[in-house]
A and B are shown apart, each in its own frame.
Chain A
Amino acid sequence: MKNLKNQIGKSAVILLGILIALIRPFASGSQSLPSGMEIATKTDIRNDGENVSRKLTMELIDKRGKSRTRETKTFRKYFGKERRTAIFYETPSNVKGTAFLVYDYPDVNEDDDQWLYLPALRKTRRISASNRGDYFLGTDFTYEDIKLESKLSVEDYTYKTVGKEMIDGKETYVVVGLPVDKETEKELGYSKIKAWVDAENWMIRKGEFWDVAGNHLKTTYIKDIKQVQNIWTALTVQVKNHKTGHKTNFTFSEVDYTTVIDDDFFTQQTLVRGL
């Protein structure tokens, strides 16, 4: 009986030791972790070039595996603190000419301006910026996801750092973001997001999203992150919608940060004219 007590006592001490060993590094690590908002701000101010042009191939895959591919050329440029993005569809022929333009203003109280050119009408349609939680032209990305380009919004969420994890062999900070208010939650279509942010270059390597009802909505993987002209760049982005089973793969190529893009690319006239 005494032996049994001794054995239990020894086991308890060993178990306690293991628990302390497991908990201590996490506890000491969490003390030194940057705050969620610090991490979000790091992604937000990460250098993404004064301007960039690139080819974007969108692959849309339904739950049965049927795939549709669209090739686009995209352009982004800062005009002071205002960011303008233009996307021009090149293939297939039946969507060729479709183009999207967004003016993203630095003042958070000022709605973005967005236009969509529809070649069948030969007219440009104004799109309300409050639709930023809607899905972008058949993809699993929302208009807001497209605009953020693998950054975390510092205006729309409050963040909390919940730990560190390895993703694709890289150390990442794990942050959870909650919308700042119910109205923002409704606009974005997300009640919670979780992001795995690379501790070295502040690129997001993985993201999880929950819808307004609290259901797990989608997962994003950024698979190929490289330095292009000294700027960290996501070259492959995959998203899976758990509700619909639909997947979207974005592949970027011909990325160019150095060639200055003419201001005219970001006008309605160029939207109509095409590239």
Chain B
Amino acid sequence: MKNLIVVLIGGFIAFAGYSQDRPKPEFNLVGITQASYRWNDPSLQKWEWILKPEVRFDFSKKIRFYVKGRFYADVTDNLEMGRSRVDEASRFSRRHLIGDRSEWELRETYLDLDLDNLGFLRVGKQQIVWGETDGLKLLDVVNPQNFREFILADFDESRIPLWSVKHDFMVDELNVQLVWIPDNSYHDLPELDHPFFPKSNLPELGNSQAMFNPVNKQTRFFKDSEFGVKLNQFKNGWDVSLNYLYTFDDFAIFGIQSSADPGFDLAVTPYYSRYHVIGGSFNKAVNSISLRGEVAANINREFGTLDSFDFPSNVTKNQLSSAIGVDWLPGENMFSAQVFVDKVFNVKTLFGRDPFDSFLTFLYRRDLFNDSMTLEFQEIHNLKRGDGLARVSANYFLLSNLELTAGTDLFYGDENELFGQFTKQNRMSLGLKWGI
């Protein structure tokens, strides 16, 4: 991996030196500050300051180099108290912590090559986004995610870019996208004492004394690479894609055994298991509405279960997830609803979830004063367990490049459930976003 990055950067420098055309750098900077106050445990949950510089070099119309960084500081240090390591991401993709309150991260760095009839190649650290759904992810699993704020942060901010190669080309009217990801990075999860630590993901071990071993991570450059293909075609008003991804589950599975150490009953070793994702998506405008849908079959995915043992064991099962959504945009309003259905086959119990699960999402957005202001209400509701998340937000452009944001995030439901576990983190937020 290190060699690949050296080759990439070396190639870029060499190319820059030999390029006939003088590169035309274009610089952009976006700054964000946002403070969130939680009222159940009255305190500032965060007061973050973010700077996102980006530079684009166009060597010619066919060759571009792009780099984007992010400097992040939380003056309260209440989201990731005392965190000193970020091990889930590979050495080349992780954020670099600076003390307790700040960090910097190379968000994206890639070389774009327009190969004419051979298509378009993007090589470097990037985000690859698949699928049609909002809020919950079925096919959008190419990149892992930072769960520092569970799913409250924008996906663009929380998605972890990976070192990868993406090649798009056309075969007649069919767009083919090949993806190769040699970067073994996984979801960045909060630690046990952090406010958004997902308790519902931990195995229930009863009164057993458990020893947690370090995460068993993949290290082989080629053999542990992920790869995928997306076929996409637009025909007769239908946008249809077929997707395949051979990937690692970005959530760790907990291997649990009797401990050899007499001081502990159990030894827990988290590891990442591999599975296949086969799926597709569509969208179609019908009169005044747009329909969209997505399906993902996860083949040979490992799950923790209590079916056969007193403590969780892991089984390999197939999972089918699907979603259908409808968007209606009358005037300056937008109504959007989605239904998600998820089923893991041939298993009675699963750890942290039910074998069958379903969600309903709803979004209402209204643009006011020629898009100077946007009001938004969003809800994600688990139809089976009754927990969920409701969000209300307002954005107002004070100037062309200065935006005021305000909002509230409300978790509800039983504290043992996926969303309900975060009711103590209900918050209201105020922020500013500006760009140059």
Q: Which residues of A are interface residues toward B (Cβ below 8 A)?
A: 60, 62, 67-70, 91-94, 96, 111, 113-114, 119-123, 125-131, 134-135, 137-140, 244, 246, 248, 264, 267-269, 273
Contact = CB atoms under 8 A, between A and B. Distances in A.
Contact of A135 (B30, B112, B332): B332
A126 B399 contact: no
A120 B156 contact: yes
Contacts of B207: none
Interface stretch (B244-252, B260-268, B285-293): B285-293
A60 B369 CA distance: 10
Contact of B397 (A68, A125, A130): A68
Contact of A139 (B129, B132, B370): B370
B435 A126 contact: no
Given A138-B372, A246-B370, A269-B120, A128 B289 contact: yes
Most buried by A among B155, B239, B327, B401: B401
A92 B400 contact: yes
B118 to A, nearest CB: 12
A138 B156 contact: no
A119 B30 CA distance: 14
Contacts of B423: none
A125 B290 contact: yes
A121 B332 CA distance: 19
Given A126-B290, A128-B287, A135-B332, A120 B370 contact: no
Nearest to B292: A126
Given A131-B329, A131-B330, A137-B371, 12 more contacts: A69-B400, A93-B29, A111-B285, A122-B156, A123-B134, A126-B284, A127-B329, A128-B288, A128-B329, A130-B288, A138-B371, A273-B122
A134 B30 CA distance: 30
Nearest to A244: B370
A121 to B, nearest CB: 7
Tier of interface size on chain B: 35 or more
A111 B400 contact: no
Given A60-B370, A130-B287, A123 B132 contact: yes
B154 A120 contact: yes
B331 interface: yes
A16 to B, nearest CB: 53
Interface string B225-236: 000000010100
B239 A126 contact: yes
Nearest to A140: B370
Nearest to A110: B237
